[in-house]
Amino acid sequence: MKKNKILFFILLVICSLPALAYVGPGAGFAFAGSFFFIFIAFFLSLFYFITFPIRTLINFIKRFKTLKHAKYKRVIIIGFDGMDYNRLNKFMAEGKSFPNFEKLAKNGTFAPLWSTEPPISPVAWSTFSTGVNPGKHNIFDFLATDRATYMPKMSGSDIFPPKKMLKIGKYSIPISKPKIELKRKSTSFWKIVGSKGIFSTVLRIPYTFPPEKFYGLMLSGLGTPDLRGSQGSFSFYSDAVGGESEVAEGILEQLHKTGENTYSATIKGPSNPFTKGNPPLEIKFKLTVDKEKKTADMEIGKDTYHLEQGKTHNWITLNFKAGLIKISGIAQLVLEDTNPVKLYISPINIDPEKPSMPITHPRILSVYLSKLLGPYATLGMAEDTWALNERVLSEEAFLQQVYGYQREREAMFFDTFKKFKNGLMVQVFETTDRIQHMFWRYLKDSGSPADTPSKEEHIVNAVAESYEAMDKFLGKLYEKMRDDDLLLIVSDHGFNAVNRDFHLNSWLHKEGYLVLNEGKKFSGKWYADVDWSKSRAYGQGLHGIFLNMKDREKLGIVKKKEAEKLKDEIKEKLLKLKDKKTGEAVAKGVYKREEIYKGPYIKNAADIVIGYNVGYRVSPESAVNYVRDEIVSDNKRMWSGDHSFSREFIPGIFFSNCKINTGNPSIADISPTVLSAFGIKPPAFIDGKDLEVKTSA
């Protein structure tokens, strides 16, 4: 018994290590870096243990003083990512039943919630978290741009490898800390609440990776990488040859035939932090296929997993070895076909039981949840939309995956809710967003040119059923709430069809703003053939155009005195641009950044921000900086719904179980409203307004 207590204490120390990770070559550096700071973590853990009674008393006094002036002692916020105000009303008008949403609308408040510009998740949820516009929180798109290389980088976190490495032959050993920083600025409302002694539980809010320290619990959401350090890369294996097994993204591997019905291959994991060049760590596996029964047995080491065609296998653990160190991940398997053999392996999630990167605060939380509820998805965008888009995952398997993750997150929510006394609880559910992205094409009014091959009712009606699933969740929550709770339900934006792709960089090239090397008509990925000495502007991310500014970009040529005229010229041309096929405008609004943002970080925004017309968005090719011949083309991908439009077209939803005294709510208003509900005066830097919730419905 004494030995078990010692082992648990060691586990607690290791899992309480500082939030250090290098997301580049993968989780190897994070684990190796943490290994060298166990002793530091030991003394920190000892310090927190000794000071625990004092800190508890201080927080009790703060909480007592704050709650004396509070309207509510418990505030619950539920985020349904992407739930659309107009679509929900349309479903209701068609007679679909949403009894719990309807109850909220009748007894409390139901209104459109206005998003940010652009209305995309990183920007909108960061405004939700802080109550400020992007110029103050520094998140303007999914991607930011590196002015020295013109390459995109993730906007939510900055990644730094260890600065000091000890090289011994072909081995490199990190002897300094790897580092990862949250790039979202300003102060979250849960941190302000925590400073007043009020405990918060914050689960899966986008752009909270790495998790920040505050008085409460946090599980990071969108922006959390997989074990390889990417935002989600699947693996696909097949014994087929040629076009049958080609995919554009993810990792494609050939199954090597070793017998009549047996195959072998390897699973590529995180980079080896100790070997020169950091090659990926690998795990070998053997696959034995029964084509008649449409099953297969997958052997990894001493473990065997039985797979049935079309069914998602539960999480399996993958241990990658780098010398004496193991780096643990979890993945799900789908045997998509047996003739030819097609095997899908999900992105390798960070193992919550043995996290090699920081995914929760405190770090022990991920271990606790895993021990209590079993393994669960930790990747920010765990639902593998790209695998469905590439048709290596079936529509049926994708829905199994989405609702499997929904069940995990509901179990996590309700277990936490049981322990919820007074304070703040926030959780975001992503099911509606992921399903709308991939199944909008099945809506009768979508106008989508994409395929709709299924006749299965649950696939054809997938969007409506995702809304119904959220209504059922709400019903479960109602049963457990107290009468004096404040409940707010929000979405970060709405949704609509995306039927046409706009090739922004191709347009910039055609208009003479982005110039290619002599003799080149097209450019490869990542501006491969761009002549920066002659280029004045380039597209980056989903909504941005950057000027190639002198003394800002590495090879910039646009002088400061020329910039405003150039921005006006590009803006005017974009607003006049019509789709030759439909006659419709591609852009509804085009803004210079100073027109829509204010604050200290405006310099990091795109010089021009495009608000697209409904039906249009930047093409995937342009998003990775290709230059092609077409300017606008049909979107035939399964990714058929989107929210990359001007925000006026796609309001999100706002529900409250209480009436509000102010109209026209926006996502920036949630932070000051929560603070006011707890009797806390919102700080002067907040842009949003208090919605003045009443104390009774």
Same domain membership, residue 574 and residue 662: no
Query: Where is 254: in which H helix or E strand?
Result: strand 251-254
* Predicted confidence band of residue 35 (pLDDT cuts 50, 70, 90): very low
**Contacts for 207 with CB less than 8 Å, ≥ 6 apart:** 121, 122, 125, 126, 129, 139, 156, 182, 184, 221, 222, 223
**DSSP category for residue 482:** -
Provide mean pLDDT across the span 518-536. 95
The answer on pLDDT for 11 being more than 60 is no
* Predicted confidence band of residue 13 (pLDDT cuts 50, 70, 90): very low
Same domain membership, residue 573 and residue 610: yes
User: According to the model, what pLDDT value does residue 60 have?
Assistant: 60
Q: Is the separation of the CB atoms in 379 and 347 below 8 Å?
A: yes
Cα 89 → chain centroid: 27
* Predicted confidence band of residue 17 (pLDDT cuts 50, 70, 90): very low
CA distance 571 to 298: 56
The answer on pLDDT for 55 being more than 70 is no
Same domain membership, residue 554 and residue 415: no
DSSP codes, 57-102? HHHHHHHHHHHTT-S-SEEEEEEETT--HHHHHHHHHTT---HHHH
Q: CB burial class (10 A; 0-12, 13-18, 19+) of residue 427?
A: buried
In this predicted model, which residue has the larger pLDDT, 408 or 697? 408
Query: Is 58 a domain residue?
Result: no
Least confident piece of the model among 86-95, 160-169, 458-467: 160-169
User: According to the model, what pLDDT value does residue 10 have?
Assistant: 27
Same domain membership, residue 539 and residue 456: no
Provide mean pLDDT across the span 155-174. 75
Same domain membership, residue 695 and residue 581: no
The answer on pLDDT for 47 being more than 70 is no
User: Does residue 580 sit in helix, strand or coil?
Assistant: coil
Provide mean pLDDT across the span 500-529. 96
In this predicted model, which residue has the larger pLDDT, 38 or 627? 627
CA distance 413 to 372: 13
> Which residues are bridge partners to 615 per DSSP?
498
The answer on pLDDT for 16 being more than 60 is no
User: According to the model, what pLDDT value does residue 7 have?
Assistant: 31
Same domain membership, residue 521 and residue 476: no
Same domain membership, residue 478 and residue 399: yes
Domain stops at, among 632, 649, 666: 649
> pTM for the whole thing?
0.89
* Predicted confidence band of residue 640 (pLDDT cuts 50, 70, 90): very high
Q: How many distinct structural domains can be found in the chain?
A: 2
Provide mean pLDDT across the span 685-691. 97
Same domain membership, residue 641 and residue 654: no
Convert the pLDDT of each residue in 447-506 to its tens digit.
999 999 999 999 999 999 999 999 999 999 999 999 999 999 999 999 999 999 999 999
Give the up-direction half-sphere exposure of residue 618: CA atoms within 13 A in the CB hemisphere. 30
Same domain membership, residue 531 and residue 388: no
The first and second tokens of residue 69, run together, are: 């002036």
Domain of residue 549, residue span: 499-649
Query: Is 247 a domain residue?
Result: no
Same domain membership, residue 404 and residue 532: no
Least confident piece of the model among 61-70, 186-195, 241-250: 241-250
Domain stops at, among 649, 669, 684: 649
Same domain membership, residue 666 and residue 630: no
Query: Is 438 a domain residue?
Result: yes
Least confident piece of the model among 21-25, 236-240, 303-307, 532-536: 21-25
Domain stops at, among 630, 649, 668: 649
Residue recorded with tokens 């191709």: 506
Residue recorded with tokens 């277990």: 415
The answer on pLDDT for 38 being more than 60 is no
Distances (CA, A) of 453 to 155, 344, 369, 434, 436: 36, 21, 39, 19, 17
Rg (CA), the chain: 25
* Predicted confidence band of residue 56 (pLDDT cuts 50, 70, 90): low
In this predicted model, which residue has the larger pLDDT, 112 or 229? 112
Query: Is 449 a domain residue?
Result: yes
Convert the pLDDT of each residue in 218-270 to its tens digit.
999 999 999 988 889 999 999 985 444 444 557 888 999 999 999 999 999 98
* Predicted confidence band of residue 542 (pLDDT cuts 50, 70, 90): very high
User: According to the model, what pLDDT value does residue 64 have?
Assistant: 56
Residue 104 maps to which CATH number? 3.40.720.10
Among candidate residues 134, 184, 192, 59, the one with its CA nearest the CA of residue 677: 192
User: According to the model, what pLDDT value does residue 243 have?
Assistant: 41
Query: Is 341 a domain residue?
Result: no
The answer on pLDDT for 203 being more than 90 is yes
* Predicted confidence band of residue 3 (pLDDT cuts 50, 70, 90): very low
User: According to the model, what pLDDT value does residue 180 have?
Assistant: 83
User: Does residue 464 sit in helix, strand or coil?
Assistant: helix
Q: Is the separation of the CB atoms in 235 and 387 below 8 Å?
A: no
CA distance 630 to 304: 49
In this predicted model, which residue has the larger pLDDT, 371 or 32? 371
* Predicted confidence band of residue 139 (pLDDT cuts 50, 70, 90): very high
In this predicted model, which residue has the larger pLDDT, 177 or 190? 190
Query: Is 115 a domain residue?
Result: yes
- Read off φ and ψ for residue 173, nearest 5 degrees: -110, 120
Query: Is 353 a domain residue?
Result: no
State which amino acid sits at residue 569. Answer: E
CA distance 527 to 151: 9
The answer on pLDDT for 98 being more than 60 is yes
Same domain membership, residue 657 and residue 513: no
Q: Is the separation of the CB atoms in 463 and 442 below 8 Å?
A: yes
The answer on pLDDT for 175 being more than 90 is no
The answer on pLDDT for 663 being more than 50 is yes
Query: Is 346 a domain residue?
Result: no
DSSP codes, 498-512? EEEEE-HHHHHHHTT
User: According to the model, what pLDDT value does residue 19 have?
Assistant: 28
The runs of H, that is alpha helices, within 166-246 are 189-195
Q: Is the separation of the CB atoms in 410 and 473 below 8 Å?
A: yes
Whole-number mean pLDDT of the chain? 89
Least confident piece of the model among 3-17, 347-361, 444-458, 466-480: 3-17
